[in-house]
Chains A and B, each alone.
Chain A
Amino acid sequence: MLRTLILACALIGTAFAGDPSTLVLDGSTTVGPIAKAFAEYYMQNNPDVNITVSESGSGNGAKSIVNGTCDIANMSRFMKHEEFKAATDAGRMPTAHVVAMDGIAVVVHPANPVKDLTVDKIRDIYTGAITNWKDIGGPNKKIIVVSRDTNSGTYETFETLVMNKQKMAGSVEYVGSNGAARQRVQSTDAAIGYVGLGFVDNTVKAVTVNGVAATPQTVASGTYAVARPLFMFTNGYPKLGSHLHAFVTLHLTAKGQEMVEGIGFVPVTAY
Chain B
Amino acid sequence: MRLSTRRMLDRSFSGLGFFAVGLMAASLIVILAPMFVRGLDAFVFKATVEHRRLMLERFGRGNRAVVDKDLEAARIAREPLYRILAEFKEEMEGFDPDRRRMFRTSVRELETLVQSLLGPFPGEPTPALIRRQYGQTRWDQAQLKLQEILYVESYDYSDATRMGTKVYTPRQALYEGTRLHGFFPYLEKHVEAMLRPRTTLYWRFLFDSSLDAHFFGGIWPEMLGTLYLTIGAMLFAVPMGVIAAIYLVEYAKDTGLIQLLRTCISSLAGVPSIVFGLFGLAFFINTLHVSSSKSVLAGAITLALLVLPTVIRASEEAIRAVPLTYREAALSLGAGKWHTIVSVILPAALPGILTSIVISMGRAAGETAPIIFTAAVSVGKPLKVWETLSKPTPALPWNIYNLATEHEAVDQIRHVQYGMVFTLVALVLLLNITAIILRARVSTKLRG
Contact = CB atoms under 8 A, between A and B. Distances in A.
Contacts of A32: 378, 406, 408
Contacts of B157: 113
A32 B290 CA distance: 26
Interface in A21-55: 22, 24, 26, 29, 32-33, 36-37, 39-41, 43, 50-55
A56 B373 contact: yes
B294 interface: yes
A245 interface: no
B420 to A, nearest CB: 16
B222 to A, nearest CB: 12
A52 B163 contact: no
A24 B297 contact: no
Given A69-B285, A263-B408, A54 B377 contact: yes
Contacts of A29: 406
A135 interface: no
A13 B129 contact: no
Interface string B413-434: 0000000000000000000000
B128 A41 contact: yes
Interface string B239-277: 010010000000000000000000000000000000000
Residue among A1, A22, A112, A263 having the largest count of chain B Cβ atoms under 10 Å: A22
Contact of A111 (B160, B164, B211, B386): B164
A174 B379 CA distance: 25
Contacts, number: 171
B130 A40 contact: yes
Contacts of B288: 6, 10
Given A9-B290, A10-B289, A54-B376, A43 B406 contact: no
Contacts of A263: 129, 408
Interface stretch (B61-69, B311-319, B387-395): B387-395
A54 B165 CA distance: 39
A217 interface: no
Interface string B201-235: 00000000001110000000000000000000000
A177 interface: yes
B136 to A, nearest CB: 16
Given A13-B291, A67-B286, A110-B155, A258 B127 contact: yes
Given A16-B386, A176-B405, A263-B408, A43 B243 contact: no
Interface in B355-407: 372-373, 376-381, 383, 386-387, 389-394, 402, 405-407
Interface of B: 127-132, 148, 153, 155, 157, 160-166, 211-213, 236, 240, 243, 284-286, 288-295, 297, 301, 372-373, 376-381, 383, 386-387, 389-394, 402, 405-411
In the A-B complex, the 7 residue pairs with the smallest Cβ-Cβ separation, listed nearest first, are A17-B292, A52-B380, A16-B390, A113-B157, A36-B213, A52-B377, A177-B406
6 contacts: A14-B289, A52-B392, A53-B379, A259-B128, A259-B129, A262-B127
